[in-house]
């Protein structure tokens, strides 16, 4: 009796465990931007912040700091959010990064993150 009860319990447990399915979430990778491709702040970086319902839905004039609106973004970013000595540690790159441990409300796509990092590495020019 005890043997059949134990065998039934083991069978039920095995069936329950075999029914589990895990959908593993793979973090988005950040592509490499060719070193010789010049990144333009006004054409490629600023639209990341201002297009649609991106960053400026919160980070606008009178909203949450930093002000990433078109007229203020460059001055604010280059003043406090860029680390030229270690571009990968720049706040404008790390906080909304798709690889960040603590996710920001809005997150860059892999391509956006690569563009921001490449722009910083190229000297964060106002071009």
Residue 19 included in any domain: no
> Is 126 a member of any domain?
no
CA-based nearest residue to 122, from 38, 12, 9: 38
Question: Does 64 reside within a domain?
Answer: yes
Chain centre to alpha carbon of residue 95: 7
Give the pLDDT of the chain (127 residues) as one tens digit per residue: 677 777 777 777 776 666 655 555 555 678 888 878 899 999 999 999 999 878 999 999 999 999 999 999 999 999 999 999 999 999 999 999 888 877 788 889 999 999 999 999 999 999 9
Tell me how far apart the alpha carbons of residues 57 and 18 are, in angstroms, rounded to a whole number.
45
Question: Structural domain of residue 92, as residue ranges?
Answer: 29-121
Predicted confidence at residue 11, as pLDDT, reads 76
Is 5 inside a domain boundary?
no
Query: Structurally, how many domains does the chain consist of?
Result: 1
| pTM (predicted TM-score) | 0.76
- The SS3 call for residue 56 is helix
The reply to whether 24 falls in a domain is: no
* Distance in angstroms between the alpha carbons of the first and the last residue of the chain: 81
């Amino acid at each position: 009796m005890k043997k059949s009860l134990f065998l039934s319990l083991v069978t039920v447990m095995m069936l329950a465990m075999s029914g589990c399915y895990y959908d593993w979430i793979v973090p988005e990778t950040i592509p490499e931007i060719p070193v010789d491709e010049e990144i333009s702040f006004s054409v490629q970086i600023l639209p990341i912040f201002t297009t649609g319902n991106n960053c400026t839905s919160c980070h606008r004039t009178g909203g949450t700091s930093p002000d990433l609106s078109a007229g203020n973004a460059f001055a604010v970013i280059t003043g406090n959010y860029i680390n030229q000595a270690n571009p990968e540690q720049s706040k404008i790159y790390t906080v909304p990064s798709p690889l960040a441990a603590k996710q920001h409300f809005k997150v860059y796509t892999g391509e956006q993150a690569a563009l921001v990092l490449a722009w910083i590495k190229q000297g964060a020019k106002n071009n």
